[in-house]
Copies of this chain bind each other. A is one copy, B any other.
Amino acid sequence: MASKDNSVNIKSGGAKASGAYHHGDLRAAVIAAGLKRLEADDGGELGLRALARDVGVSATALYRHFPDKEALLDALADEGLRRLGARQAQAWLKAGGGRNGFKATGITYVRFAHEEPALFRLSFTRQMRERTVDVDNDGGEVAYKLLRAGVGEALPGVEDPDTAALHAWALVHGLAMLILDRRIEWDEEMVEQVVGLTFGGIC
Contact = CB atoms under 8 A, between A and B. Distances in A.
A165 to B, nearest CB: 10
A171 to B, nearest CB: 5
Interface stretch (A11-19, A86-94, A119-127): A119-127
Interface stretch (A30-38, A52-60, A189-197): A189-197
Nearest to A110: B170
A175 interface: yes
B194 A128 contact: no
A7 interface: no
Secondary structure of the A contact surface, majority rule: helix
Interface residues of A, number: 34
**Copies of this chain assembled into the complex:** 2
B173 A177 contact: yes
A187 to B, nearest CB: 10
A186 interface: no
A128 B124 CA distance: 19
Contacts of A201: 203
A167 B193 CA distance: 9
Interface in A149-193: 160, 163-164, 166-167, 169-178, 181-184, 190, 193
A149 to B, nearest CB: 17
Nearest to A160: B193
Contacts of A43: 127
A127 B118 CA distance: 12
A101 interface: no
11 contacts: A127-B182, A164-B197, A166-B175, A166-B194, A169-B178, A170-B171, A170-B175, A173-B174, A174-B174, A174-B175, A174-B176
Interface of A: 43, 121, 124-128, 140, 160, 163-164, 166-167, 169-178, 181-184, 190, 193-194, 197-198, 201, 203
